[in-house]
Structure 1
């Protein structure tokens, strides 16, 4: 073999990563600037086209490095586009709009990858989580159930493993000191449930991004406040029930001392979350862009500022620069970005076909009652997850199909809340979700046992409670 092919093969991955970083930067910058300038400055449309082109090229460039399901989704998007072009050419503008929506999802996921890098290395978050264990048995269940929800806004699925590790450490230390141990399984399940509930209302969550971008009648600020309020109510009720079911240890309850600085760490994490929400709301209002685009602007900013909040995370001399970090963040979210980009296009094609078949007329005519449609979304999306089918595409299809139609126009908040809960429930019901896999690994059981046994009562209870809340919201909306 000659030297030249060897060099080419050696440098190909580095070139691909560098190209991925450049394309991700172009996609993010062009999308944000184009959306801010839309209707205000000439050339905004060209910037948006550039962002979409960068997203498509990026997906094709990484085709061999993403999961098989992402490859299938991308092929499905191509076939769907060709089918619409031939059979429903009048729906091509909706397909273009869907491509822009998919581009926004891909950019959002890249921005999310940027913030996850410093958060994963954060000792501040670990210290805050450690402080949740400084309670007696029942109070500890309550603290972890609620605290995990807040921490997981930034740390996401990493919260489950982190709290499980802390629980095992405390359990070992207490037993070594002759004290009663900690129910580590209860702590891990509490972390899982807190993380699941966070996905309903988190402003930087994928479910929130899908819902707010698909239902024109929603005010993102109002749906955020409503979702948070409903989840807070259910979270406290669920945590209290779980705490009540926790057996009390014999004798005088012993509190583990809170580690030094745990209170300040928890306060800093809460401040970071509030700051993220406030900045996103401000960008949404002042720049008149969607919540999704505002998050694409704020998340990279927070990722850059986090090392200043936590000086221990500052880059040492010789560490990768900003473009390399962006490339790594984009690569880490490659599969998810490809799936969401493709799912938006496929969803638009399915929605166009359903509308051409007259589904809007059936809803408007009363043959399909809006409440039945909304509750069907709440049940069917998790059912798809339980069948080990990726629920992402069904969620996006439902949001696109009903969000801009009669249901979304007449009952945007009932539909939005139902979809947000359906997203969380689908994750809870799916044995192939990352949360089920991580929880199963931490507990030493199969993910199917997590979803269909250990967490089943919680999932069914949450679905029933969500159905009641959505029905009440529908009646009063």
Structure 2
């Protein structure tokens, strides 16, 4: 009997979708990086940038059925915002085009970040480095984990929290089984959370840093990185010291676990890799005259390709190719890439509307004091996160609105620091942030308890310290 042919379905199979995502991601990265690097001398560089933006849109639409609901809403909002600007503020369309290209760079950067996260997740070198942080007595251990987690999280990001928590539980069980004093795994998990949060303020391959340095034209990214790193170093030492001092130490001998074999060398190698990554990003930024964001899009895939060669145990036994890894990285960061692409466009639309309403004139005329605007960003962005509204779009709106205006022009470093601290504080204050969710899961409590109880003192203390630092930099800016 003849059979009825199957009906055509619009949705592709996962294998085809992954392959298409990988190919488009490769085209996105290549056209964006080549277009930016060759802007001054390469004929057709502008066409390459247009191609990268078009590719980012196609990629976002292809992944639309598989991203989160909030990402779908953001993308629809970006199309609506573009339509409204085209009808009501056509003079702002060039700014919208620039925002689309900026969102394209965010999307490419997140794919590049996904590439390096794949080998890092499987790295035994990083696991051994983290193990070495526990070879101390109770208070020194809190101090070491607080600072060490900050370095490791540059590469491992939110995965650092779960890894430190697992190691702490394993050490606690082993010590108790041997009749020794246990380890406070909750304190270790919170120390890892705080180190990871502080990393987001200064890491030049972090999303917050990318948003700020892209939005404030008068900001020198290299000087800003040095300033942010120095300030966070001082605050980190103070915070880790306070955490260590508050750690109860029972009477009696204070035993410590010996460091696992090779842990010290592993930690040194990981820190060297991080320093090398930062140095290469700085060099690419200076030598190629591109933004940190574009420099990272070039350096991160290079490090991702080199890492398995530096650590042979990471080499896949199967025929895993570069395009397959790129497909997986693209798919793993699909939701974040869609959100940042859309948020850049929405932020530009809000900035255009605010500028049309005369906000720049109010700031320039003194009716809205610049310091008040800067401190308002520091407080309001975390407040948005605390009420479980995604803070990403508010951060990008604030950066778009004030970065190129009078505030960013006159006080770039104060505004940049306020936005970066606000980014970290919003993550700490939001019960729906990945860090709060992971920490809650590791501690067996709700993310709300992590945010509004266990980590509240740290968040408020960091906000107060950030306000003082921003005020000082504003006075000197």
Is the pair's TM-score, using the shorter chain for normalization, greater than 0.5? yes
Who is 1:341 aligned against? 341
Who is 2:53 aligned against? 52
Counterpart check, 1:78 vs 2:67: no
Task: Return the offset for 1:39.
Answer: 2.0
Q: When the two structures are superposed, what TM-score results if normalisation uses the length of structure 1?
A: 0.98
Who is 1:274 aligned against? 275
Who is 2:250 aligned against? 249
Matched residues in 2 for 1:5 and 1:470: separation? Answer: 64
Who is 1:43 aligned against? 44
Q: Which runs of 5+ in 2 are unaligned?
A: none
Matched residues in 1 for 2:77 and 2:130: separation? Answer: 42
Evaluate the alpha carbon distance shift between residue 134 and residue 361 of structure 1 in structure 2; reply closer, same or farther with a 3 A threshold.
Answer: same
Task: Return the offset for 1:265.
Answer: 0.3
- Cα deviations by residue, 1:343-386 (Å, 9 ceiling, x for unpaired): 00000000000000000000000000000000000000000000
DSSP 3-state at the match of 2:249 = coil
DSSP 3-state at the match of 2:445 = coil
Who is 1:350 aligned against? 350
Task: Return the offset for 1:95.
Answer: 0.2
DSSP 3-state at the match of 2:320 = coil
Who is 2:428 aligned against? 428
Who is 2:144 aligned against? 143
Task: Return the offset for 1:88.
Answer: 0.2
Alignment of 1:244-323 (within 5 A): 244-316=245-317, 318-323=318-323
Higher mean alpha-carbon deviation, 56-65 vs 243-252, is at: 243-252
Alignment of 1:145-224 (within 5 A): 145-224=146-225
Who is 1:459 aligned against? 459
Evaluate the alpha carbon distance shift between residue 72 and residue 177 of structure 1 in structure 2; reply closer, same or farther with a 3 A threshold.
Answer: same
- Cα deviations by residue, 1:59-103 (Å, 9 ceiling, x for unpaired): 001111100000000000000000000000000000000000000
Matched residues in 2 for 1:185 and 1:128: separation? Answer: 20
Who is 1:390 aligned against? 390
DSSP 3-state at the match of 1:133 = coil
- Cα deviations by residue, 1:225-255 (Å, 9 ceiling, x for unpaired): 1111111101000010010011112211101
Matched residues in 2 for 1:155 and 1:18: separation? Answer: 26
Evaluate the alpha carbon distance shift between residue 2 and residue 151 of structure 1 in structure 2; reply closer, same or farther with a 3 A threshold.
Answer: farther
Q: Contact conserved, 1:110 with 1:330, CA < 8 A, in 2?
A: yes
- Cα deviations by residue, 1:17-66 (Å, 9 ceiling, x for unpaired): 11111100000000000000102111000000000000000000111110
Who is 1:440 aligned against? 440
Count of aligned pairs between the two proteins: 476
DSSP 3-state at the match of 1:257 = coil
Task: Return the offset for 1:9.
Answer: 8.9
Matched residues in 2 for 1:5 and 1:172: separation? Answer: 57
Alignment of 1:96-107 (within 5 A): 96-107=97-108
DSSP 3-state at the match of 2:438 = helix
Q: Contact conserved, 1:137 with 1:249, CA < 8 A, in 2?
A: no
Q: Contact conserved, 1:133 with 1:258, CA < 8 A, in 2?
A: yes
Cα root mean square deviation, aligned: 1.3
Higher mean alpha-carbon deviation, 244-253 vs 277-286, is at: 244-253
Task: Return the offset for 1:12.
Answer: 2.0
- Cα deviations by residue, 1:103-124 (Å, 9 ceiling, x for unpaired): 0000000000000000000000
Task: Return the offset for 1:5.
Answer: 3.5
Task: Return the offset for 1:454.
Answer: 0.3
Evaluate the alpha carbon distance shift between residue 302 and residue 5 of structure 1 in structure 2; reply closer, same or farther with a 3 A threshold.
Answer: farther
Who is 1:116 aligned against? 117
DSSP 3-state at the match of 2:390 = coil
Who is 2:92 aligned against? 91
Matched residues in 2 for 1:367 and 1:11: separation? Answer: 55
Evaluate the alpha carbon distance shift between residue 93 and residue 250 of structure 1 in structure 2; reply closer, same or farther with a 3 A threshold.
Answer: same
Task: Return the offset for 1:464.
Answer: 0.3
Task: Return the offset for 1:308.
Answer: 1.4
Evaluate the alpha carbon distance shift between residue 359 and residue 314 of structure 1 in structure 2; reply closer, same or farther with a 3 A threshold.
Answer: same
Evaluate the alpha carbon distance shift between residue 435 and residue 2 of structure 1 in structure 2; reply closer, same or farther with a 3 A threshold.
Answer: farther
